[in-house]
Chain A
Amino acid sequence: MAEYHLVAPLKDSDVEKLNIGDVVYISGEAFTCRSRLQKYIFDEKNVLPVSIKDRNVLIHNGPIVVKENGKWKLVSFMPTSSIRFEKWGAKSVDEWNLKMIVGKTTMGKKTMEMMKEKKCVHVSPQSVSPNLWIDSIEVQDVYLYDELGRIEACWFFRLDDIGPFIVDIDTKGNNYFDALEQEVLKKRDEVLKSIGVDPDFEYTELYRER
């Protein structure tokens, strides 16, 4: 497992060298989104009010930001669950030309296929440690604040070597968590047996599941 310190905007060559399980730290410009922004853009057919041409790191995140003496102050930050954005995942990677998504819970098949095609990776934190990150994040600006609210808005951040994040989807179509899931499922059977449960135990069918 290698460790990389990457600077955004990312090039194809920056992300193509990454393999699942590698550890990355990221510097440079990034932006945030949550469901409300993707619905606003992709379903409600609105246009982002600002160019993200040179901003290809997306952080799934709803930060806590307050205004202090006329300036934005980041109070807390933690990447959020990516799987809930699966509906818009492939579209986001394609239309926003993303090279990296920072989030947790990894993403689904459709997004992974697009990530492979467009050369994009997904990375996840291995801790819940906002205080080790917020000093390394400068809030540059915010868009759609009035339309979408404080945490659903599109925040522009400048990152200074924040991490560590583990690469869980690489550009070759591999998923770190798929591999780990197989190991856990193997252990599941042993674990169930150890507490007196038959791994193939079948429940009495009280009603037909539909």
Chain B
Amino acid sequence: MIKTEIYEQVIFETIKRGATEISKDVKLAFERAIEKETKQDAKKGLIATLKSMEMSKIRENPLCVDTGWPIFYFKVGNECELEGGFMELENATRRAVAKATEKGYIRATMKHPLTGYDPGNNVGENIPNFTYKFVDGKDIEIIYVAKGGGSECFGGTRHKVIAYADGVEGIKKFVVDCFVASTRAGAICPPSVLGVGIGGTANVAANLAKEAACLRTVGSSHPEKAFNDIEKELYKALNGLGIGIMGAGGDTSVLAVNVEYAYTHIAGICVATSSNCMVARRASTLIKDGGEVILQESPTWFDNRS
């Protein structure tokens, strides 16, 4: 049994860490991009961004002012027991989001979609949002993602159902064209971590794309060759467009392209994209059954894909 006070504190700390600390894999990707960038203005922009991100950890302030939608992924052991049950896990998450907003770790960004009403704490209908995955064991992994508005609203997150006949060529064209459109004037804050979901119903493809963008380790590969080939091809292709940091021209336009898939109805293949902005904020913490807390460098969401 994991006590409420433990998981509530972990959720709060995970939000703080995700919003204010650059992940190790993202930092590594930045260092590589700086090393190979040939356009001086772009190199300066990458260096300034990395420097600011490193300062955020010390100052305990957000890596970017737009901390976006607070979304949570729970990877839960089938035998996991939480004090108060899973409804209390969600209530504790809402309390932690409100507290993190009050402390200034995340911005009060969430509003009523029609009236613009601002609760001031990022808590409202369906927000924060929760996704679960069930695995063997008794532990729970808590993942917080700060999904920024730039990368979500300006064409970085789209879907299209294509005919089976249009196949891989159609999939790749859709991804390239979405990326070209959405990076104009730096709209989605490139260099992006680009997630691609292939197959399933539209919502499944969109969720896979989001998870690929936000939960995969930057620099990881899909274990199946056919999908890893698409990742490698698109990574090279998109970095050949010359879009660069904030779309102002440069050699690095994507930090990673991550593809995930689901089986599909042969009548149509849904292709979805989800872009994460360059700061690619998320944090993951594992709570063991006995209450031991382990800070993870990267989520394990996609370990042991079924």
A residues with a Cβ closer than 8 A to B are: 23, 36, 39, 61-64, 66, 75-78, 80-81, 83-84, 104-106, 124-132, 134, 149-152, 164, 166, 168, 176-177, 180-181, 183-185, 187-188, 190-192, 194-198, 201, 203-204, 206
Contacts and interface: CB of A to CB of B under 8 A. Distances in A.
Interface in B235-288: 236-238, 240-243, 245-249, 268, 277-279
Interface stretch (B39-47, B75-83, B123-131, B207-215): B39-47
Given A39-B116, A128-B246, A194-B236, 6 more contacts: A76-B62, A126-B48, A149-B108, A184-B180, A184-B242, A204-B166
B219 interface: no
Interface in B164-192: 165-166, 169-170, 172-173, 176-177, 180, 183-187, 189
Contact of A105 (B51, B120, B185, B241): B185
Contacts of A188: 176-177, 180, 241
Interface string B73-96: 000000000000000000000000
B176 A75 contact: no
A151 B107 contact: yes
Interface stretch (B2-10, B63-71, B193-201, B291-299): B63-71
Interface of B: 41-42, 44-46, 48-49, 51-52, 55-56, 59, 61-66, 104, 107-109, 111, 116, 118, 120, 149-150, 153-154, 160-163, 165-166, 169-170, 172-173, 176-177, 180, 183-187, 189, 233-234, 236-238, 240-243, 245-249, 268, 277-279
Contacts, number: 191
A104 B64 CA distance: 14
> A interface, by DSSP: helix, strand, loop or mixed?
mixed
B61 A151 contact: no
B61 A203 contact: no
Given A62-B66, A129-B49, A180 B240 contact: no
B57 to A, nearest CB: 10
The 10 closest A-B pairs by CB, nearest first: A129-B52, A204-B163, A149-B118, A131-B55, A126-B45, A127-B48, A177-B185, A127-B45, A131-B52, A76-B65
Given A126-B248, A191-B237, A206-B161, A196 B184 contact: no
A23 B40 CA distance: 13
Contact of B42 (A63, A126, A194): A126
Contacts of B177: 188
Nearest to B102: A66
B154 A180 contact: no
A77 B52 CA distance: 12
Nearest to B164: A204
Given A126-B248, A128-B49, A198-B169, A191 B154 contact: no
11 contacts: A39-B116, A75-B62, A80-B66, A130-B61, A151-B107, A177-B184, A192-B172, A195-B236, A201-B173, A204-B162, A204-B166
